[in-house]
Amino acid sequence: MYKKPQLRFFVVLAAFLAVFLVTGNSADAKTASGKGVTEGRYFVESKSVLIKSLFGVQHDFSGGFTSDLTTGEVWTLEKIFKVNVIEVPLYKINAVSSDTSATAGSIVTDAVDLISGADQKAKEREILPDSQIPWGVKKVYGDNVIFSTNGGKNVNIAVLDTGANIKHEDLSARIKDCKDFTRGPVPRSACEDKQGHGTHIAGIISADGGTDGKGVWGIASEASLLIYKVCRNDGTCWADDIASAAIYASNNGANIILIGLGGNADNFLMRDASAEAVKNNVLIVASAGNDGADKGSIDFPAAYKDIVSVSAFSEEGTVPDWSSRGINDGDYIKESKEIEFTAPGENIESAWIDGGYRYLSGSSMSAAHVTGIAAKLWNGVATSTDAKLRKIARDVWTIGDDSSTGFGIPIFPRTVESD
C-alpha cells in the first residue's frame, strides 16, 4: 500500500495549518515547521486503516506498520494523530569495499581484471575462476586436493541480501525461490542483484560448478537457495525489510537463514523476527561485522542470543584487523555481543553479477562458509545442528572460546559425508 497523492496533500495541509495555529506558543511546532522534507523509515504504532491509507505501508507487523515518512509527516502523526512513531535503523552489508580491500589484504587477479563493470555481461565461460575450489572451501573441508563438493540436499537456505544473479552458470540450478522485499508490503517475484554481494555469498554457500563443471564450487553444492532481496543497490538495508523477509522465510520452508549484514543499532523488529524464526526451528547465521578489533564491536543482529555469529579469518592464519570482536574471553555464555565461530573471510573468490568471478573480503563471506557447513550437517533440528558445528570446530586462535574467533573454525572430519 503506497501513499495516495491526493490524501497526502490533505495530510500535509492539515499539518501546516496546525503548525500555523500554534506557532506563536509552541516550541515543538517551530521545530517541526523548520525540519524540511528529510525522509526516513519509521514504525508507526497503529493498525488504523485510515492512517495506513494516508501515509502508506512498507510492511505490516503486529502492533503497527512501517512507512517512509518525511519529518513533517512524523510530526503530524505524533502531534495531530497522537500516534507513537519509532525510527527504523538502516544496516549495511558486511563486505570490505573494493576501495579498501587492498588494506585488508584483498588481491586483484586476471579474472577480476577482465571485468570492466557490473553491467558488462560475461560471455559463456570466457571468464573462469582462478580456483574452482577456493581456499576457504578447502579449509573447511580439511582437504587441499578436493575437486568438487557435495551436501545440503533438500536443505533450504534463505539468503537475505542484495539479491542474486539467478542466471549465473554456477547458481542457476540452486535457486528455488526469488523475492524482493524492498518495494512494498507484498514481496515481488524478483531478486535482481545490481550490487554483487548477494551473488557472491550465494556462490560461497552452494555454487555447483555449472553444467560444464568448469565453474566455482561452494560448500554445500546440493543445497537449495531462497534468494530474498532486502538491501538496496548501494548495499544499505532497512531493518524492517530484513525482518519481514526473515518472518516470511521461517514460515515458508527455510531451514537456515543467512544474514550477511548488520549495524550498531538494536531493533525490536529484528529481535521479534529472529525469535519467531528460532521458534519455527530455523537456524540463523549472521556476520559479526567489519567494525574492527575493539571488544564488543559485533553488529546486530549477530549480537542477538540464539543467532550463530561469525567473524573473519585469513588464509595466513590471522584475524583481520577489521573483523568485529565479541566481549567474552572466558567460558561461552552467549547473552549478547559474542562470537560463536570464525571462518574464511579474506580474499574469497566466488560468483559475481556479470556471470564471472570476483574476490571479496568480509565477515559476510565467513558467515556464508558456516551457513554452507550447517547445510551439510543439517539433521532437521536447528539447535542440534548448531551443536554439531561446535563439535567439529577447531581452535585457530587461543585455546577455548575467545572474543575474536569463538569456538574456532568448523572443519569437517574426513568421515563426514552428505546425507
- Active site (catalytic) residues: 161, 197, 364
- Residue 25 neighbours by CB under 8 Å, 6+ apart: none
Backbone angles phi, psi at 394, to 5 degrees: -120, 135
Euclidean distance between the first and the last CA atom of the chain, given in angstroms as a whole number: 44
Q: Give the single-character DSSP code of 79.
A: I
- Nearest to residue 83, comparing CAs of 67, 98, 64? 64
Query: If you write DSSP's letter for every residue of 371-389 in order, what string do you get?
Result: HHHHHHH--S-HHHHHHHH
CA 340 to chain CA mean position, Å: 17
- 27 alpha carbon, distance to own chain's centre: 41
Q: What number of helices (H) and strands (E) belong to the chain?
A: 12, 18
Could you tell me which of 16, 196, 164 has the C-alpha nearest to residue 95?
196
For residues 196 and 161, is the Cβ–Cβ distance under 8 A?
no
Instruction: Show the CA angle centred on residue 87, arms to residues 38 and 263, nearest 5°.
Output: 105
Contact 90, 39 (CB under 8 A): no
Helix 382-392 to helix 363-377 angle (10° resolution) is 110
- The CA-CA-CA angle for residues 182, 226, 148, to 5°, reads 135
Spell out the residues 6+ positions from residue 185 whose beta carbon is closer than 8 angstroms to its own.
Answer: 1, 57, 58, 59, 60
